[in-house]
Structure 1
Amino acid sequence: MKNYFLLAFLFATQLLLAQSKDKKIFLDSLWNQTNEGNHKYYRITTDYYLNKKGYQITDFYLNGQIKNQGSYEDKDGNGRIGQHKEYYSSGRLKTEKNYAADNRPSGPFNSFYENGNKEIEGEYVKIKTDVVEEHSILKVISYWDENGTQRIIEGNGTMIEKSEKETSRGKLVNGFKEGTWIGTNPSKKVQFVDKYESGIFIAGVSKDSTNTEFGYLEINKMPAFKTGLMDFYKYVGKNFNKPDTETIKGKLITEFTIGTEGQIQDVKIIKGLRKDLDIEAIRLIMSTDNSWNPGEYRGIKTEIKNTFPIVIDIKVN
């Protein structure tokens, strides 16, 4: 009996040690880290606390079904490696995509409807638009509608493209978007018309709920610190008031929204380090109010939520 309990104890200890190598975090609808209870997804990074080359990361829906699964270069989810799969909340496969060494999609791509029918069969190819800029573009070989009727054959035909928020329709020539694509985003009450040449987005015009028109050269434009991102990093490093009488090392994560006029809104701490340092981080982020150019969606200024980590490393001899 003693041996039985000893073996059981050793097995339980080994199991706990194995579990402690993984890390679980909670994510909101925009994939920003948040607190448990406010989350829409959660993420488990296998062997997070081990130093290794490449990490397996799996994202889950609230119902416990896998949403995304694949390997990354680092433990924080930077740099996709190899094949990645996305699933519906029902557990059915949604997409499978491959990533090259430059972290861009490359090679075979397949997508499926939630009813299990095939949607797209294609491949990601690299296209240079000039000497410097290179794009990874999806070349569609075959496309079927939700009822199983093939609409794209050998890269040619008309296609309806759907994402979580947008639906658009247009023509494919030799596998690439060509000419005018018309679409809507019901959640933002936006209609748009985009122009493509050989799969490359050229320009677009959108209309908001008031029928006001906006021209744009970028579909999504992220907020930008007015004097440049490096200046923002320098500002944080220079103006963060740190105690100089004790050794502190760690990372806190802030979350804040940049409004349509570049104002700072809804600053909060997602991962705290210590109360006084958390308060200082909030003060510092708020001090950059109106120092940002707002983000845009199809030429329309829009609020965008951001997360920003601050690393504290104070050494006192």
Structure 2
Amino acid sequence: MRITIYILTFLLFVSCKTTQTKSELPIKNTITEYYESGEIKSVGTIDDFHKEFNNYRIGFWKEFYRNGNLKSSGNYKLDTYTQCCTGGICDGFYSYKYGEWNYYYDNGKLKAKGKYRIGKKYKETSCEGGDEIKFGYVTDSWNFYDNNGKEIEPTEKDIAEIEKSSFIDEWDMTKK
């Protein structure tokens, strides 16, 4: 009887197949967005899979003022949060800023630079209780400058302005 159990156990292990799942990275497309008057607004890469619906930002982006001067530059990642849709739970998508970012005044002078600290932030969703999303926070390691290039101590408004822009979701994308 024991031999039969050993043989069956052996056959079970030998006959099991293992499969390897390949994880596909998002395909990227470079796009240029324009102001209504024709000036370049931003240049960067989007996730090709979602481009039909919204241009979710991934990778390196540059944003410009209408006068052509650089407004900001840095990297985005794509992530999801829980939504409640007609057919049940579904994913809501958003892009968030991470890593090193630079912000500029419209005169071309550096306004702020630093590396986002990624944390969690509550986001109201169509589901009761909302969800948490990844969010870029400004830390003490950031440097802020006045419009003449002199380093300054940031105000709460300066910090809030940069943190507010640290993620873009599908609702922000439809406003453009």
CA deviation after TM superposition for structure 1 residue 68, in Å: 1.1
Confirm or deny: 8 A CA contact 1:70 1:85 kept in the other structure.
yes
Structure 2 equivalent of residue 79 of structure 1: 56
Aligned length: 113
| Counterpart position of 1:64 | 38
Deviation per CA, 1:149-170: give whole Å up to 9, x if none. 211xxxxx3337xxxxxxx36x
Q: Which residue of 1 aligns with 2:75?
A: 98
Q: Determine which of 78, 100, 107 is the counterpart of 1:108.
A: 100
What is the distance in 2 between the residues matched to 1:112 and 1:58? 19
Aligned residue type for 2:135: H
Q: Give me the TM-score of the superposition, normalised by structure 1.
A: 0.31
* Separation of aligned partners in 2, 1:126 and 1:53: 24
| Displacement after TM superposition at 1:101 (Å) | 4.4
Change (3 A) 1:71 1:129: closer
**1:54–1:75: 8 Å Cα contact kept in structure 2?**
no
Normalising by structure 2, we get a TM-score of 0.52
Quote the residue 2:145 is aligned against: 144
Instruction: Give 1:124 shift.
Output: 1.7
Between the aligned partners of 1:124 and 1:90, the Cα distance in structure 2 is 27
**Consecutive unaligned residues in structure 1, runs of 5 or more:** 1-51, 152-156, 161-167, 170-176, 184-198, 201-222, 224-305, 308-317
Post-superposition shift, 1:79? 2.5
1-structure distance, mates of 2:75, 2:36: 26
Per-residue deviation, 1:137: 1.9
Q: Within the alignment, does 1:159 sit opposite 2:151 as a pair? A: no
Distance 1:137 1:93 in 2: 22
Mapped to 2, the partners of 1:57 and 1:120 lie a distance apart of 25
CA distance in 1, matches of 2:154, 2:138: 15
Give the partner amino acid of 1:80.
R
Identity, % of aligned pairs? 29
Aligned counterpart in structure 1 of residue 66 of structure 2, from 89, 95, 112: 89
SS of equivalent residue, structure 2 residue 136 = strand
Q: Which has the higher contact order (CA 8 A, sep 6+)?
A: 2
Tell me if structure 2 keeps the 8 A contact 1:143–1:159: no
Please state how far the C-alpha of 1:60 moved relative to its aligned partner. 1.1
How far does residue 72 in structure 1 lie from its aligned partner after superposition? 0.8
Alignment of 1:157-196 (within 5 A): 157-159=153-155, 168=157
Instruction: Letter of the 2:137 partner, please give it.
Output: I
Which residue number in structure 1 is paired with residue 110 of structure 2? 118
